[in-house]
């Protein structure tokens, strides 16, 4: 589905499901493509005492699965509202905002970054740097999201990525630049595979960083049959596959 196809699909959706949806744009990409959002609610466009939730897909241009899944979610809600209790619950109790593609320019050329060759997932402020009020220093896609957040008080949010098994959590980074130096500690997430299913243990798992090689070896020795996730500076997650 090209960017033009996606735009048409979103416009067609809001025509077909006009009673429970509306289409709006939060801005434009570097190359001028609108960043379209579908809002789903029994009162779209109104401010209510209900939680607002946003889904964002395609932050990285070469990770298209989010665009497809989010459109499928929207269509499922539309098709099943009125006959499925879960779809009805969502429509009547939540304002759901769906942005299938934050990076249409990157998608069009099958590249991770936007048209200015910037990784949008690294362009947002984090806990280690003050929010810069000069939004012109950031990418237009980033600015659009930041402005959107100021206009709507979202209760919860999620972004859909593809290509790796990764878990990121708020404030999961560290300003310690010596992540892999001896004697330092980092935070992690332990995912244990048993009987064909995944059991996720999220905790303040402290690990002494010796080296990537030592960490892989220790992971296999101490937690056989696991995936060990190491979270380092700026929230980047490195995964050491210990499955054998």
For the segment 89-99, what is each residue's pLDDT rounded down to a tens digit? 999 999 999 99
The least confident of 12-26, 42-56, 203-217 is 203-217
For the segment 154-210, what is each residue's pLDDT rounded down to a tens digit? 999 999 998 766 666 555 555 554 443 333 443 343 443 444 443 343 333 333 333
Q: Which fold has domain 3-160?
A: Aminopeptidase (3.40.630)
For the segment 124-169, what is each residue's pLDDT rounded down to a tens digit? 876 666 556 566 778 999 999 999 999 999 999 999 998 766 666 5
Q: Which residue would you say has higher pLDDT here, 215 or 174?
A: 174
The domain ranges of the chain are: 3-160, 184-241
Strands 95-99 and 52-57, bridge-based pairing: parallel
Facing residues of 34 across strands?
A: 28
> How many angstroms separate the CA atoms of 228 and 210, rounded?
15
DSSP secondary structure string for all residues of 180-212: TSTTEEEEEEEEEEETTEEEEEES---EEE--H
> How many angstroms separate the CA atoms of 200 and 111, rounded?
31
In the chain, what percentage of residues exceed pLDDT 90?
58
Q: Which residue would you say has higher pLDDT here, 180 or 37?
A: 37
For the segment 75-120, what is each residue's pLDDT rounded down to a tens digit? 999 999 999 999 999 999 999 999 999 999 999 999 999 999 999 9
pTM: 0.71
As a whole number, mean pLDDT of residues 44-50 equals: 95
Name the H helices within the chain.
3-16, 65-80, 85-93, 104-108, 140-151, 212-222
């Amino acid at each position: 589905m090209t960017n033009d196809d996606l735009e048409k699909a979103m416009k067609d959706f809001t025509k077909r499901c006009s009673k429970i949806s509306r289409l709006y744009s939060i801005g434009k990409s570097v190359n001028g493509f609108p960043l379209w959002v579908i809002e789903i609610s029994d009162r779209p466009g109104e401010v209510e005492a209900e939680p607002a939730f946003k889904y964002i897909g395609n932050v990285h241009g070469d990770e298209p699965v989010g665009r497809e899944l989010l459109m499928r979610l929207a269509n499922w809600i539309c098709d099943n509202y009125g006959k499925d209790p879960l779809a009805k619950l969502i429509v009547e109790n939540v304002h759901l905002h769906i942005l299938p593609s934050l990076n249409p320019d990157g998608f069009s050329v099958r590249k991770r970054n936007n048209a200015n060759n910037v990784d949008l997932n690294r362009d947002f402020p984090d806990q280690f740097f003050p929010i810069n009020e000069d939004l012109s220093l950031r990418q237009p896609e980033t600015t659009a999201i930041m402005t959107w957040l100021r206009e709507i008080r979202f209760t919860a949010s999620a972004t859909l990525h593809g290509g790796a098994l990764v878990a990121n959590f708020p404030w999961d980074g560290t300003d310690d630049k010596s992540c892999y130096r001896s004697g330092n500690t980092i935070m992690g997430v332990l995912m244990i595979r048993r009987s064909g299913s995944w059991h996720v243990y999220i905790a303040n798992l402290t690990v002494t960083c010796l080296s990537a090689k030592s960490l892989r070896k220790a992971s296999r020795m101490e937690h056989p049959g696991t995936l060990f996730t190491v979270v380092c500076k700026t929230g980047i997650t490195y995964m050491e596959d210990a499955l054998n």
